[in-house]
A and B are shown apart, each in its own frame.
Chain A
């Protein structure tokens, strides 16, 4: 298979027991009455040069996790260890202000909505050039040249440098977002549903672009997505999240072909297969109900109310995320016993 997991590479980012709990306040004095545990104790390693996809239904905490890594949010617990180019590790959760600036260059984000994420009152030069101006302290002709070069690289015409976002289509706007993320030569790019708002044909163009850029600039992607066919196409490893916790992590090939968590099986089974002849083939797994409320999750395994294999033990005992070998980790009491259906050919 073309993309085997790069096990030999070193970790670029290590999340350890990462927590992001949002307080729920009530009343005039904003008394804290509870917490939404959007991310609740995530251990995850991102290797240098790989594409790690983070998947799950909406409300599972994927986006929050991504935003913690770029420090849009200040995590409420745990550590985000980032390996510098010299090999030393820094904990991004404790850094503040000026000491965080080097990481603001190295860890960038591409947002989902190409309409909402670009300031309509700024030109492309201002949007893409802002980080260059702030971090590299350049301006004038030099800045214009750098921005023009970036535009060319993402497939936009440099002549458009003084246009405003409204003059571009959705796919072109997403290219501007990619150029902005790449301006400072980052090492890690968080792509939060970067292609899900795009039409299929444009989506293919952006996916191809992301892959070219990864090879060219040796980028590492944390790809937050809910579309599993896109994940299947782009990722090396997959992490499945459910109500703030990881339920399964492993290489794409293993997770898609031999899922070990019932939630992963259900997600894979729900993807419509683009062939009418497969319509009645294979057993279908359908999840009932909705994602559990992260402010008030069920006891035991959070997934047990929706799980068709649930047993008594699942309601009382929370399964830890444990290693099954080959870097395949899963949080299910019965991972070894269950015979779960994956995707043929994955």
Chain B
């Protein structure tokens, strides 16, 4: 990943831990994530469901739902004025973060209805957003809202201001939500699977739009997705997450042509290649994402890993290794197996149900006996 300091960097996530304190136990949704976001770039965060992608994004804006909260780590926002603020230290309901939400950092979601009100017109919602952050009259804000709708490709934008959300199609709703997110010219746009629910044809136009806006407005985009095709299409840098940690970060080309982490490689092998003439069986990653109460010891990917090294991977949590190519990877294949500086995490302390849950969740196909036992032992 390019850059390291100063003005090239927009956001730095350092040792972020966001945990959910449920009655059954603590779910460590994000458990020590580190990655930078370079200014003006598109960073894609990928991984299976339950890997902490969305919670990381929500942590940045301090909109983690209860009973979750940030328990450790820093989220440093580098402003153009060289000022650096720690978003993780802000109170979730405080003035400081509210001034940033929607203004400096905006977010769009998979389901537009979750961020748009069904009982207010599109225009009113955008006007409210603009007036909250910028000193404008209602008329000025309305003109700006119409401009925004036009900018995101909604036909007859002036008339659409008075539409309600239910009167728009899925793609149009997504565009309206993007218009609202852009209304205060954010430095960072966080997009949480914004195209997953859309048809490929609509997805393609929305991706084009985001690319275009990013270029024209020099905006930084953090794009969460599980679709590697989308990543190939829009990413500059890629962050691969697994079980609340970052497995690998690299520029987009090495992620596809020289992936280092076994998890990144496994993700590649499990997708059908479009236009591929060989059609043997897909190599599915064996097993599945472990239950949140039963996180494996050592490297959390080891029960599913092809390159599993007994006695090492199940014991030592891999430290981040920076490769010459600029890739950062957390895998003992690339060093750190001597245990120096590595900490054994997730050791004990789980609720008593964990072992049973692991049994119930153990996949029929991949997990053989000893592995299931491993998981049980972790609990």
Contact = CB atoms under 8 A, between A and B. Distances in A.
12 contacts: A1-B277, A3-B279, A199-B226, A203-B270, A204-B283, A229-B271, A233-B272, A233-B279, A269-B204, A272-B203, A272-B233, A274-B273
Interface string B182-206: 0000000000000000011111110
A272 B226 contact: no
A200 B271 contact: yes
B127 to A, nearest CB: 26
Contacts of B49: 170, 199
A36 interface: no
Contacts of A76: none
A269 B208 CA distance: 13
Contacts of A163: 360
Interface stretch (A19-27, A99-107, A275-283): A275-283
A321 interface: no
A287 B205 CA distance: 8
A228 interface: yes
Interface of B: 48-49, 169-172, 199-205, 207-208, 226-233, 235, 252-253, 256-257, 266-268, 270-277, 279, 281-285, 288-289, 360-365
A256 B233 contact: no
Nearest to A57: B199
Contacts, number: 156
B274 A205 contact: no
A276 to B, nearest CB: 5
A71 interface: no
A202 interface: yes
A171 B365 CA distance: 11
Interface in A246-276: 256, 266-267, 269-276
Contact of B226 (A2, A151, A200, A211): A200
Nearest to A342: B275
B274 A276 contact: no
B53 to A, nearest CB: 12
Interface string A227-242: 1111011100000000
Interface residues of A, number: 60
B113 to A, nearest CB: 16
B285 A201 contact: yes
B361 to A, nearest CB: 6
A207 B282 contact: yes
A324 B252 CA distance: 42
Interface string A121-161: 00000000000000000000000000000010011110010
B275 A232 contact: yes
Contacts of A288: 205
Contacts of A175: 364
A202 B288 contact: yes
A208 B281 contact: yes
A267 B274 contact: no
Given A228-B274, A267-B201, A345-B277, 12 more contacts: A167-B360, A167-B361, A172-B363, A172-B364, A201-B48, A266-B201, A272-B203, A276-B232, A276-B256, A277-B256, A277-B257, A343-B274
A344 interface: yes
Interface string A193-216: 000000111111101100100000
Contact of A155 (B169, B204, B365): B365
- Residue among A168, A200, A273, A288 with most chain B CB within 10 A: A200
Contacts of A346: 275, 277
Nearest to A287: B201
Given A199-B49, A201-B48, A273 B229 contact: yes
Interface of A: 1-3, 57-58, 151, 154-157, 160, 163, 167-172, 175, 199-205, 207-208, 211, 226-230, 232-234, 256, 266-267, 269-279, 284, 286-288, 290, 343-346
A169 B284 contact: no
A175 B275 CA distance: 27
B119 to A, nearest CB: 24
- Residue among A57, A169, A175 with most chain B CB within 10 A: A169
Contacts of B272: 204, 207, 229-230, 232-234
Contacts of A167: 360-361
Contact of B253 (A230, A256, A277, A290): A277
Nearest to B263: A201
A192 B324 CA distance: 47
B232 A279 contact: yes
Given A163-B360, A171-B363, A57 B229 contact: no
A277 B257 CA distance: 9
A3 B171 CA distance: 35
A234 B275 CA distance: 12
A199 B271 CA distance: 10
A162 to B, nearest CB: 12
| 8 residue pairs, one from A and one from B, having the closest CB atoms | A272-B229, A233-B272, A204-B284, A270-B204, A204-B282, A201-B285, A204-B270, A343-B275
Contacts of B169: 290
B288 A274 contact: no
A115 B14 CA distance: 36
Contact of A267 (B200, B275, B283, B363): B200
A260 to B, nearest CB: 18
A155 B201 contact: no
- Residue among A154, A203, A227, A275 with most chain B CB within 10 A: A275
B252 A276 contact: yes
Contacts of A157: 362, 364
Contacts of B235: 276
A211 B280 CA distance: 10
Contacts of A170: 49
Contacts of A226: 199-200
Contacts of A278: 232
A154 B288 CA distance: 16
Nearest to A234: B272
B205 A273 contact: no
Contacts of B226: 199-200
Nearest to B304: A201
